[in-house]
Chains A and B, each alone.
Chain A
């Protein structure tokens, strides 16, 4: 038994060596209980594409689903696209969702201890091809689209 234990210990050492790189931060709201909630800048437009409460918990799933559809299948709907998030939530001050501590994405993620790597590749500012402009009239031609016209 003692020998088994030392096998395990040796194995563990190995695992630690190999596992250094696999560290991942687990996002959790509960963990930060007691800290004051981040104050978020209000997005453009009347309301988000989904309930705020739903979005708070599930936006990552929606985004993940959407990114796979867009990239792998070429489905280019805009409702749950990251670009659309950025267009509505880019800060009035910095023009970005993630360049200062108060910006929409960063403010909440740092509160929740989440470290997504979206911004390694994705732009944090809206571009000249607005997704909302193209899509909004199609979805609801009567509602003026206020998002992303900049």
Chain B
């Protein structure tokens, strides 16, 4: 079966395919193990507590979900803006978007206190809750992007790919806005209460999604012993640089506007100066590894024959790491900062009021969080193997265009 469907260029490396599958499966199994253990013993085994209520699983989940929307970018640029290079990458982009969302949602669900009530979550909606809206957006995303993929891959339905592509485009913009709003609506917490939260999430989703797309694309080309066309490479590289730059810009604006409000100073001090691990993760992870270094790599001038050193893998990979760091700072850092109930007062209680909350993620959180990545990875490996997701570039037109632009 697999032999038959092996339609990629290059040889069919069945052994290695199963090795990858086993790796992904193992990680997923790890998450399931963590899930059943927690289901039995409760979250007491994790480092999460009544102060840090959302931990590592949520860092991974939100990252994957946000990246899912961004991964669809490539397809959108193809369908909505009609760029040929991106069009031929649309199926891969759509598939990745689905795999990422599946991974993210899986973690979110497996971490619930009562995952057995998933049915309740899917049937009982409080329409005032942005969280409930998110569930609707997620489910819709599966449906619409799934449909979009079918229109892309089935010749007879090809004509539909444009309108459905538009729909997917707007749907996922709403999805990321809604995901960002999950945090933006938390008025009580200094770290979240900002109208910038939603647009910032949208921009960051562009960067993370494209970065993941590029990493997967590079791996696929290498896997098949192919080299990505230099023109395509350059375009995507520049696009990524724009997104990473924009994310950095938004991060700066976010913190600057916070500095404008005196009541947010304490929080800014915490993240930017003396928040310990969070300050470090912010500067080293989010800003340097996830922003500055990739930008340098992407813009580094290179001689023609140093093409193999294109950083088409390394730079986006760093962007991904930076993205996870950003989520950690946003989600965990935002909770670690003491909630202000009595401004102008020093507070103390048995419930850890007024102290910076400590968070030490345990093995189960890691297993759950990485399990989401595992789900995405496994789905991607299988999909790439079974379907025709390898971008089909028309090399002659590319060549011709390259000589003109």
Which of B113-121, B194-202, B230-238 lies at the binding interface? B113-121
CA–CA, A20 to B36, complex, Å? 11
CA–CA, A20 to B31, complex, Å? 12
Query: B348 to chain A: closest CB distance in Å?
Result: 32
CA–CA, A94 to B186, complex, Å? 47
Within 8 A of A (CB), among B127-155: 146, 149-150, 153-154
Query: B158 to chain A: closest CB distance in Å?
Result: 13
Q: Is the pair B382, A21 in contact by a Cβ cutoff of 8 Å?
A: no
Which of B43-51, B102-110, B295-303 lies at the binding interface? B102-110
Mask for A112-129, Cβ within 8 A of B = 1, else 0?
000001000000000000
User: A3-B154, A10-B383 are contacts. A22–B119 as well, Cβ < 8 Å?
Assistant: yes
Within 8 A of A (CB), among B191-210: none
CA–CA, A6 to B7, complex, Å? 15
> Does B386 interact with chain A (Cβ within 8 Å)?
yes
Within 8 A of A (CB), among B16-38: 28, 32, 35
> Does A101 interact with chain B (Cβ within 8 Å)?
no
CA–CA, A17 to B382, complex, Å? 14
Residues of A contacting B150 with CB < 8 Å? 7
Q: Select from chain B the residue with minimum beta-carbon distance to A9.
A: B386
> Does A14 interact with chain B (Cβ within 8 Å)?
yes
> Does B75 interact with chain A (Cβ within 8 Å)?
no
> Does A33 interact with chain B (Cβ within 8 Å)?
no
Query: B126 to chain A: closest CB distance in Å?
Result: 13
Residues of B contacting A7 with CB < 8 Å? 149-150
Q: Select from chain A the residue with minimum beta-carbon distance to B101.
A: A14
CA–CA, A21 to B110, complex, Å? 8
Which of B35, B116, B382 is A10 in contact with, Cβ under 8 Å?
B382
> Does B387 interact with chain A (Cβ within 8 Å)?
yes
Q: Is the pair B106, A17 in contact by a Cβ cutoff of 8 Å?
A: yes
Q: Is the pair A18, B116 in contact by a Cβ cutoff of 8 Å?
A: no
Q: Select from chain B the residue with minimum beta-carbon distance to A115.
A: B116
CA–CA, A20 to B110, complex, Å? 10
User: A21-B110, A21-B116, A22-B118 are contacts. A13–B32 as well, Cβ < 8 Å?
Assistant: no
Main secondary structure of the interface of A (DSSP, over half): helix
User: A18-B102, A21-B109 are contacts. A11–B146 as well, Cβ < 8 Å?
Assistant: yes
Query: B87 to chain A: closest CB distance in Å?
Result: 20
A interface bracket (residues with beta carbon within 8 Å of B): 10 to 19
Q: Select from chain B the residue with minimum beta-carbon distance to A14.
A: B102
> Does B379 interact with chain A (Cβ within 8 Å)?
yes
CA–CA, A13 to B106, complex, Å? 13
CA–CA, A131 to B281, complex, Å? 56
Within 8 A of A (CB), among B146-172: 146, 149-150, 153-154
Q: Is the pair B102, A6 in contact by a Cβ cutoff of 8 Å?
A: no
User: A21-B115, A21-B118, A117-B116 are contacts. A13–B109 as well, Cβ < 8 Å?
Assistant: no
Residues of A contacting B379 with CB < 8 Å? 13-14
CA–CA, A117 to B113, complex, Å? 14
CA–CA, A6 to B109, complex, Å? 26
Q: Is the pair A18, B146 in contact by a Cβ cutoff of 8 Å?
A: no
CA–CA, A21 to B32, complex, Å? 10
Q: Is the pair B102, A20 in contact by a Cβ cutoff of 8 Å?
A: no
CA–CA, A17 to B28, complex, Å? 9
Query: B146 to chain A: closest CB distance in Å?
Result: 7
Mask for B71-114, Cβ within 8 A of A = 1, else 0?
00000000000000000000000000010001001100110000
List 30 A-B residue pairs with CB atoms under 8 Å apart, sorted by A's residue number.
A3-B153, A3-B154, A6-B386, A6-B387, A7-B149, A7-B150, A10-B382, A10-B386, A10-B387, A11-B146, A14-B102, A14-B379, A17-B28, A17-B102, A17-B106, A17-B375, A18-B102, A18-B105, A18-B109, A20-B32, A21-B35, A21-B109, A21-B110, A21-B115, A21-B116, A21-B118, A22-B116, A22-B118, A22-B119, A24-B119
Residues of B at under 8 Å CB distance from A? 28, 32, 35, 98, 102, 105-106, 109-110, 115-116, 118-119, 146, 149-150, 153-154, 375, 379, 382-383, 386-387
Residues of A at under 8 Å CB distance from B? 3, 6-7, 10-11, 13-14, 17-18, 20-22, 24, 117
User: Can you add 17 more A-B contacts, CB < 8 Å, to A13-B382, A18-B105?
Assistant: A3-B153, A6-B386, A6-B387, A10-B386, A11-B146, A13-B379, A14-B98, A18-B102, A18-B106, A20-B32, A21-B110, A21-B115, A21-B116, A22-B118, A22-B119, A24-B116, A24-B119
User: Shortest 7 CB-CB distances between A and B: which pairs?
Assistant: A21-B115, A22-B118, A21-B118, A14-B102, A21-B109, A22-B119, A17-B375
